[in-house]
Structure 1
Amino acid sequence: MQQDGPVGWQRQRSETFVFDGYEWCPKQGRAVFRYQLDGMTLSERFDFPLAEGAERRSKTEALGAALDLLHWTAGISYWKAGCPIQVVFAGRSPDAWQAAWLNRLYREGLAEFAYRQGLSAQKFEVFESDRPRPPAAPSQGLDDSFLVPMGGGKDSLVAWARLERLGRVAATLQVGQAGLIGSVAARTGSSHWRIERRIDPRLAELNAAGAYNGHVPITAINAAAAVVLALLHGHGGIAFANERSADEPTLFDDSGTPVNHQFAKTLAFERMLDAWVRHYLAPDLAVFSLLRQDRELAVCREFAGLRQFHDVFSSCNRNFHLDGPRTPRWCGDCPKCRFVYLGLAPFLPPAELRAIFGADLLDDERQIDGFERLLALDGQKPFECVGESNEARAAIQWLSRRPDWRDHAVVRSLAPKLKAVDVPELEALCQPGGSQLIPEGLLHAS
């Protein structure tokens, strides 16, 4: 029996979640994904911008398989409201390999959510299938152009600049309506596409009724939406801007299991997405992060030279709430603002950073505790998209040796706390390295 709202619903009694199929309108580029939570009907809508040839490409099997990926990935926002152990597919359903993939996404992508709610993420393995894996999809005849997903911050701009120097940028992309991202993308001068996403308002009603609520792997949802757009427009590559730093867990729980706020930005998830795309959708669609070999400090060093963007970018996530921005570019009081300020400080003079942020965060005594949390001296970083604790430590140590920074309140207070810690040199942390999926022709784009 279906119901329209959460009257009488209790998360502790949540039993069943249904992936209730989806509707795709190729002429409008609109996908409506349907779900049911304990009989409550829910839906989410994505509107994709169309381009020449998009309607023809929208009728391919690959596009249908990409919509499956987005449907099942976006469902994480609704499933987590009650975390029911029974999952049903009323429409298309995953095979055994895909079920294992989804179990890992829900388990590790919701690890922070589980940690904060006092739940066991191991119980989030709710997908089952005995269907065999089908043969690999054929090539889709995609071209050699790229989409660059934009988040409004420094990372996507560095990725864009690297491709632009090679003459390879086709278009920038955003998911959602955030005006700041559009303004930043306009500064690049590239074509810009916007995928509109409409979450079911009944999710807010569920939250008000006591649903489980918390962090979801939004980057995984946005990545799946980007894959749909790439197939619609015929792009052969999606160049994400996720750094090597994202692989460091936020903390380890009492059982020693890593909990990573940035799971959907890790190399592990990148490999998962690549494997899904190449087998089920298009072997000629490359999905990779152009910044994968670089830590945050290296990205900050490169971005310091992109001064044409310094007056428009923002990495503060308070710009990107569903109900609109809650800050004018920088709130100046969150882990993201602090880390970006600290990461840029070794590469920009104090006056330039003050001009960007509207304040000197490193010379404000009220900020000391917040910056100290970035050092993770207790083994836990903030639950945010920030770099490695070693990077924060190296930056503080480096600034403490600089006449223009060493007397700033935060530097003066925190530098002595690093004397008993083995801190790597900043320059060493700026060197590229590690595994990656970057196409050969782009490997040395920086």
Structure 2
Amino acid sequence: MEKTYTSCRKDYPVFYYTHYEVHETASDLAVTYHFEIPGLSSFAPTWCFPKKAEDCTCWSEDPTLLRTIFSLGMVELVSYWKIACPPKVVVKAGIINDAQISWWKKLYYQGLGEFFYTNGIEADHDTFMELVCEPSADIQKIANVFTAKAEKNVTDPAASDCGCLIPVGGGKDSACTIEMLKKSRHPLYTYIINPRGATLSTVKVSGLSEDHSIHVKRTLDKNMLELNKQGFLNGHTPFSALVAFSSVITARMYGLKYVALSNESSANESTVAGSTVNHQYSKSFEFEQDFHTYEQDWLESGVYYFSMLRPLSEFQIAKYFAGATAYHNIFRSCNAGSKQDIWCGHCPKCLFVFLILSPFLSHKRLTEIFGTDMLEDASMEDCFDKLTGLQSEKPFECVGSRHEVNAAICLTIEQMEAAGEPLPLLLKRYKELPLYEANFAHRHDYDRYYDGEHLLPEEFLKILTDECYGGVLPC
């Protein structure tokens, strides 16, 4: 029988987040989460957080850290829930109230927007999941002990007023954040989940201390991977929410005040025009704000989570990155080529990065970086049309807004023609479309673009202003 949303929910009506285990040694903190879909499978994904050298703190007894570890499991569970989408989720591993339940349901529903859309699922916010909390007796007992300890101990040994943790993905954005934050007074630590060539190279090229590079290991449960092969439901989940909670765990363990993400204003745009479906929902300002509030209200870690690049567009980030030449040969953000640590040269993400950098780097240099001239490749027309808005659905990738892609293309055409360079195939085709004439007048819209919806503390906003706006914010 075909495995559909409806049939799976009928066959597997309940999902359990049963418990989590923390194993602490002198060198690391290992966490194993336990989920179960009765009648189908159990799952035990793991995370491993390295401890700071000579750290004698017993983190497995820190109530604040355990609240955050439990919450990381609340994000992790959605990757396993989506296999069969049980209509009821029972949380036994911790305690959440009605307000928190509403918060988590919003994250799941919005973060699974692409999953629902690409699988043709007509999910309703109120009925796609009933989330209930039924903590075990042991959990309730532990919670009471921790509450009593917290009331006696009013000082937080992990509290800090300095230090930045910078999640590194290997692309241009985190490199820009690193370069900007070098201008700050703060010690900088880089944060990598499951290191690969581009992430390690970014840290090396940045010149930051390798002793300040924290590598966390996340392992997926093999049962999930096997069920995916068998045809159970699969698709995109809000990975950046995992980054959010896991980075707060890491920042607390290392006594750092800030987690500085590299998400930009462009991430707020929906992937499907006229809808709320957004591949980048957990990179959006809406999620950033929600997470910031959740941390303050329910985690109380003392870690301040924000995105350093939030006021900027992808266009402006590309302009800034064009000057960071040391990273040009090593940065990578192609998902198709991530395992080989290459630009595949045939996907929407590769084409987007090529296009957004094209006003700032020569066509020859871009071809050298990517190893191919994508603008001479007729097979990229479909991706090109999605990126420019000729199709209503953008690629389901982390790409910029339609408007700024068109601005970048118009500027590139203008520059190439002024230099007497022949236009490559896709740009020649674009110039013949009404889209070119409609967008040419707007090619400078992003020169001094500024999004005032952000959470940058004043000291970091000043750095961004100096680096990107010549010291004066646009009115």
Same fold (TM over 0.5): yes
Task: Output the CA distance in 1 between the equivalents of 2:181 and 2:237.
Answer: 30
1:85-117 CA deviation, whole Å, 9 max, x = no partner? Answer: 111122213111211111011100000100111
CA distance in 2, matches of 1:266, 1:54: 37
Q: What is the aligned partner in structure 1 of residue 66 from structure 2?
A: 64
**Larger displacement relative to structure 2 (379-388 or 236-245):** 379-388
Q: Which residue of 2 aligns with 1:25?
A: 23
C-alpha distance 176-444 of structure 1, shift in aligned 2 (>3 A) = same
How far apart in 1 are the matches of 2:422 and 2:454? 36
Helix, strand or coil at the partner of 1:259: coil
Matched, 1:75 2:96: no
**Distance in 2 separating the partners of 1:247 and 1:423:** 24
Query: Deviations 1:151-195 (Å, cap 9, x if unpaired)?
Result: 000000001110012243421111124233122222223221111
Distance 2:159 2:403 in 1: 44
* Aligned counterpart, 1:414: 430
Which stretch of structure 1 is more off in the superposition, 46-55 or 12-21? 46-55
What SS does the aligned partner of 1:184 have?
A: helix
Map Cα deviations across residues 350-380 of structure 1 (whole Å, 9 max, x no partner).
2221221112222333323321221112322
Distance 1:385 1:169, change over 3 A: farther
> Which of 130, 153, 161 does residue 126 from structure 1 map onto?
130
2:269, 2:355 → 1: CA distance? 18
Q: Please state whether the residue corresponding to 1:29 is helix, strand or coil.
A: strand
> Aligned equivalents of 1:148 and 1:79: distance in 2?
29
Query: 2:192 corresponds to which residue?
Result: 174
**Aligned equivalents of 2:133, 2:31: Cα separation in 1:** 25
Query: CA 1:368/1:92 → structure 2, altered by over 3 Å: closer, same or farther?
Result: same
Aligned to 1:91: 93
Give the alignment's TM-score, normalised by structure 2. Answer: 0.85
Contact kept in structure 2, 1:26 and 1:59, CA below 8 Å: no
TM alignment of 1:25-424, pairs within 5 A: 25-27=23-25, 28-39=28-39, 40-51=41-52, 52-53=54-55, 55-122=57-124, 123-128=127-132, 140-190=158-208, 191-252=212-273, 257-282=275-300, 284-320=302-338, 325=339, 327-402=340-415, 403=417, 404=419, 407-417=423-433, 418-419=435-436, 421-422=438-439
Structure 1 residues 328 and 68: CA distance shift in structure 2, 3 A: closer
Aligned to 1:181, what secondary structure does the other structure show? helix
Question: 2 CA distance for matches of 1:423 and 1:105?
Answer: 38
C-alpha separation in 2, matches of 1:306 and 1:179: 19
Number of residue pairs matched? Answer: 428
Distance 1:127 1:120 in 2: 19
Change over 3 Å in CA distance of 1:296–1:54 after alignment to 2? farther
Q: 1:360 to 1:281 in 2, by over 3 A?
A: same
Q: Kindly tell me: are residues 26 and 319 of structure 1, through their superposed partners in 2, closer, same or farther at Cα, counting changes over 3 Å? A: farther
Match for 1:21: what amino acid?
Answer: H
Q: Secondary structure at the match of 1:171?
A: strand
1:15 corresponds to:
13
Instruction: Tell me which moved more, 406-415 or 343-352.
Output: 406-415
Identity %: 31
Deviations 1:94-145 (A, max 9, x none): 11121111101110000010011121332434324699xx999986512410
The DSSP-based 3-state class of the residue aligned with 1:300 is: helix
Q: Measure how far apart 1:272 and its partner are.
A: 1.2
Compared CA separation, residues 56 and 142, structure 1 to 2 (3 A): farther
**Structure 2 unaligned runs (5+)?**
1-6, 136-146, 465-475
How far does residue 281 in structure 1 lie from its aligned partner after superposition? 2.3
Q: 59-68 vs 411-420, which deviates more? A: 411-420
Question: What is the rounded CA distance, in whole Å, between the counterparts of 2:391 and 2:431 in structure 1?
Answer: 16
C-alpha displacement at 1:423, in angstroms? 5.5
Structure 1: 5+ residue stretches without partners: 1-8
- 1:11 positional shift: 6.0
2:32 and 2:407 mapped to 1: Cα distance?
A: 47
Corresponding residue of 1:6: none
Give the conservation status (yes or no) of the 8 Å contact 1:400–1:406.
Answer: no
Shift in Å, 1:416: 2.5
Question: How far apart, in 2, do the equivalents of 1:338 and 1:344 lie?
Answer: 10
Q: Is the 8 A contact 2:91 2:132 kept in 1?
A: no
Please give the alpha-carbon distance, in whole angstroms, between the structure 1 residues aligned to 2:443 and 2:463: 22
Q: CA 1:279 to 1:354, structure 2 compared with 1: closer, same or farther past 3 Å?
A: same
Matched to 2:247, the amino acid is A
Deviations 1:399-441 (A, max 9, x none): 2212256611111111232146356633322422230001111
Deviation at 1:258, TM superposition (A): 1.2
Counterpart residue identity of residue 63, structure 2:
E
Distance 1:61 1:105, change over 3 A: same
Q: Which moved more, 1:118-127 or 1:169-178?
A: 118-127
Bigger shift: 165-174 or 12-21? 165-174
The 3-state SS of whatever aligns with 1:427 is coil
Q: How far apart in 1 are the matches of 2:366 and 2:102?
A: 46
Report the residue type matching 2:380 in the other structure. Answer: Q
In 1, Cα distance between the equivalents of 2:361 and 2:64? 46
Report how far residue 319 of structure 1 moved: 4.0
Residue 444 of structure 2, aligned match among 417, 423, 427: 427
Q: What TM-score do the two structures reach when normalised by structure 1? A: 0.90
SS in 2 for 1:92: coil
Structure 1 residues 200 and 142: CA distance shift in structure 2, 3 A: same
Deviates more, 1:211-220 or 1:136-145: 136-145
SS, match of residue 204 in structure 2:
helix
Aligned partner of 2:140 in structure 1 is: none
| Maintained 8 Å contact 1:138/1:282 | no
Q: Which residue of 2 aligns with 1:3?
A: none
Give me the whole-angstrom Cα distance separating, in 2, the residues matched to 1:203 and 1:250.
Answer: 27
- 1:437 and 2:459 correspond: no
- RMSD after superposition: 2.3
